[in-house]
Chain A
């Protein structure tokens, strides 16, 4: 309890944060668990299509997009009511996606199909399909919207897509089983995590060349089990939090020196994560233990675990 008090007072300072929510997709429950950031409790459970994984909100947060992988569709939901407004044609087995800064085009990784599908969320039409490597998964788009990235888990590449022509302009090898990609440093760097390789590769966006690699070492855990998946950056982009899968830890990485500063013990097989609005709290989805760990970002400590559905996978903030 003593930990909760400073936390709550910190939250009350941030005002509207009290109403903010973290939305978590439960891959094997076909539901979303909605966590109230004020109370750190699940306040709603919303049914979805089959095997929900990727989740993201529209810019104004009036709609939420959900990859319902086994329903072969992207669902569009009204977050107020939890009602499915309509489905988007997504291509087969959509796993993960990213919304272009234009708030209109969704870039979707079709895991079973070796394709990236681009969907116009307004016309609800597929506007392009781009052949990529086997088992596309990680998706990112540069802040200026000019580059989209798909990582392919079995081909072990980051595929660089020109969003104007919707064609590949580079394919760069990374270590085995790339899972997640994010642009950082104003878009000048691309980070790609490799689950089986156990690394994050940092690329220079301008030249698409490797400029660094992050390796992890968790005490008492064999390197084979240290498997980076999702990661997120703090507001100043100086620190990254990296989910390390079955090692059950989140790494805290100095984004400038690429050195790991800390490891935080969380739930079992940690996948993805989302921040609270002021980025003071971080919520990680722990697939095997079926819960979400809440991390105090300043203290780099786990402060609570919250039971959600079976196999929580994706996480998104609704401010």
Chain B
């Protein structure tokens, strides 16, 4: 408390008359989902996933705001499975024009299409769905979580650099697994590689007990390859594949070497400070969705700071302009793609113990920024809402 006294006294002396007092309310809107059962319960998904990232972003914004006469608020609205999401969205939009969405892709477009949302600015901090950045995009919906395509492009850049050109794929049968598998196939083609053999995982047996017997047989007919890809986004079976394959090669994708928005092993570029601030706040490590929600909150903060406005249209225009730069602890400024609202960002390639590489890798060039070698590029995007 003694510090606060000093602080307020300090502020009173500062000449901040140039900055209008602004209050920026933000709502974190979560549609709760039934999570599929997984073989292992070693890594439970935290209930406050995503939300704690937004809380940290709030704290960061509040500190900056305190020097500028700007304040921020964050409310969380959580809708149970089967609850009325659109009603909750309407009441959130009555509170604030800024929503951070933690919901499946189809729910996000329903919210974005509400009449009440037309002048709002929404952030997708939870769905990697490619279509949301493509034909299903919405002008009022920006994306801070990387798409499946950005992650799969990052992995394929790495595989190509290593000359691991012969690929094989094991995919789960849930929609998320299939979406990531599709992205992996697209990326392989994009970087001139081929997935020679594929199998779908459809085991009912308990792999905790017999992966060593089953997985060699399951993978025996995949032939020879340089790298085995795993599409298992719920982290169901993937962990039992490595070291049990018939043909001994590395594993990557949802397991093994993982392309991801964020991981506890990211420590360069000042990231150690973000990690420790998050750990102090949440008592756990920061995950990709936490990072995406943090980036959404910080994008709002950064745009408010630079424009001294809390008007969603003004902030959106600034975020999509060349002037916007978010320091995202990934070694280079992050910005939004003005053709589909996706936050450009490097993609770390990690194992549980180390950062192996960070895409874009050296040698992947682009006329605009190398970051645009990851994910849908302007000419490929069918997103019309931003034109």
Interface, chain A (partner B; CB < 8 A): 111-112, 114-115, 128-131, 133-135, 153-157, 159, 167-171, 173, 175-177, 195-198, 222, 224-225, 246
CA distance A257 to B18 in the complex (A): 29
Q: Which residues of A contact B306 (CB under 8 A)?
A: 173
Mask of B23-65 contacts with A, CB within 8 angstroms, 1/0: 0000000000000000000000000000000000000100110
- The residues of B that contact A175 with a CB separation of less than 8 Å are 325
Would you call B285 an interface residue if the criterion is a C-beta within 8 Å of the partner chain's C-beta atoms? no
Please tell me if the beta carbons of A157 and B332 are within 8 angstroms of each other in the complex: no
Task: Please give, as numbers and ranges, the residues of chain A lying within 8 Å of B11 by CB-CB distance.
Answer: 168
B248 within 8 A of A: no
User: Which of B3, B326, B369: most chain A CB closer than 10 A?
Assistant: B3
Q: Identify the 5 closest CB pairs spanning chains A and B, nearest first.
A: A224-B332, A171-B67, A131-B7, A176-B327, A155-B64
Q: Mostly helix, strand, loop or mixed at chain A's interface? A: loop
Asked if B205 is at the interface of the complex by the 8 Å CB criterion, the answer is: no
Bound-complex Cα distance A225 to B370 (A): 11
Contact check, A168 vs B63: say whether CB atoms are below 8 A apart.
Answer: no
Q: Are B63 and A176 in contact (CB under 8 A)?
A: no
Chain B interface residue count: which class?
20 to 34
- Cβ-defined contact, A154 with B60, below 8 A: yes
CA distance A156 to B67 in the complex (A): 11
Distance in angstroms between the alpha carbons of A48 and B300 in the assembled complex: 41
Given the known inter-chain contacts A154-B327, A176-B327, please indicate yes or no for A130 contacting B332, CB distance below 8 A.
Answer: no
- B273 in contact with A133 (CB, 8 Å): no
B333 proximity list for chain A (CB < 8 A): 176, 196-198, 224
B interface residue numbers (CB < 8 A to A) = 3-4, 6-7, 9-11, 13-16, 60, 63-64, 67-68, 270, 273, 276-277, 302, 305-306, 325-327, 331-333, 369-371
Provide the bound-state CA to CA distance between A129 and B6, in Å.
9
- Chain A residues lying within 8 Å of B276, measured Cβ to Cβ, are 112
Check A134/B63 contact, CB under 8 A, given A111-B273, A169-B14, A225-B332: yes
| Partner among B6, B14, B277 whose Cβ is within 8 Å of the Cβ of A171 | B14
Report Cα–Cα, A175/B324, bound state, in Å: 10
Decide: A133 and B67 in contact? CB cutoff 8 A: yes
Q: List 21 A-B contacts (CB under 8 A).
A: A112-B276, A131-B3, A134-B64, A135-B270, A153-B273, A153-B327, A154-B63, A154-B273, A156-B305, A167-B6, A167-B9, A167-B13, A168-B10, A168-B14, A170-B14, A173-B305, A176-B325, A176-B333, A177-B327, A197-B333, A222-B369
Which residue in A130, A195, A197, A198 is a CB contact (below 8 Å) of B6?
A: A130
Give the Cβ gap from A220 to chain B, nearest Cβ, in Å. Answer: 11
Closest B residue to A160 using CB positions: B14
Chain A, residue nearest B277 (CB): A112
CB distance from A262 to the nearest CB of B (A): 24
Residue among B6, B10, B16, B369 making CB contact with A224, cutoff 8 Å: B369
The residue in chain B whose Cβ has the minimal distance to the Cβ of A225 is B332
The residues of A that contact B13 with a CB separation of less than 8 Å are: 167-169
B64 partner, pick from A111, A130, A156, A198, beta carbons under 8 A: A156
Least Cβ distance of A217 to chain B in Å? 15
C-alpha gap A135/B332 in the complex (Å): 17
Give A179's nearest chain B residue, CB to CB. Answer: B270
Complex interface: chain A residues within 8 A of B302 (CB): 156
Contact B327 A196 (CB under 8 A): yes
Chain B residues closer than 8 Å to A111, beta-carbon distance: 273
- Contact between B327 and A155, CB atoms less than 8 A apart: no
Distance (whole angstroms) from the CB of B29 to the closest CB of chain A: 25
Taking a contact as CB atoms under 8 Å apart, the answer to whether A222 and B370 are in contact is yes
What is the CB-to-nearest-CB distance from A51 to chain B, in angstroms, rounded to a whole number?
A: 10
B60–A134 CB distance below 8 A: yes
Chain A residues with Cβ below 8 Å from B371 are 224
Tell me whether A197 and B273 are in contact (CB under 8 A): no
Closest beta carbon of chain B to A123's beta carbon, Å:
19
Inter-chain contacts of A197 with B (CB < 8 A): 325, 333
Which chain A residue shows the least CB distance to B2?
A129
Q: How many angstroms from the CA of A115 to the CA of B10 in the assembled complex?
A: 13
Say whether A129 contacts B10, CB under 8 Å. Answer: no
Contact of A153 with B67 in the complex, beta carbons under 8 Å: no
Give chain A nearest CB distance to B281 CB in angstroms.
12
Q: Which of B10, B68, B270, B305 contacts A130 (CB 8 A)?
A: B10
**Residues of chain B lying within 8 A (CB to CB) of residue A198:** 333
Look across to chain A and name the residue whose beta carbon is closest to the beta carbon of B332.
A224
Instruction: Name the CB-closest residue of B to A195.
Output: B327
Inter-chain contacts of B63 with A (CB < 8 A):
114, 133-134, 154-155
Which residues of A sit under 8 angstroms from B270, Cβ to Cβ? 135, 153, 177
Closest Cβ neighbor of A95 among chain B residues: B273
Query: Which of B6, B68, B331, B332 has a CB less than 8 Å from the CB of A131?
Result: B6
In whole Å, how far is A138's beta carbon from the nearest beta carbon of chain B? 13
Q: How far is the CA of A222 from the CA of B305 in the complex (A)?
A: 26
A195 to B327, CA, bound (A): 9
Which chain B residue has the least Cβ–Cβ distance from A198?
Answer: B333
Name the CB-closest residue of B to A170.
B14
Please name all residues of chain A whose beta carbon is closer than 8 Å to the beta carbon of B9 when the two chains form the complex.
167
Bound complex: CA A215 to CA B13 (Å): 33
Complex contacts, A133 vs chain B, CB 8 Å? 63-64, 67
Q: Are B273 and A112 in contact (CB under 8 A)?
A: yes
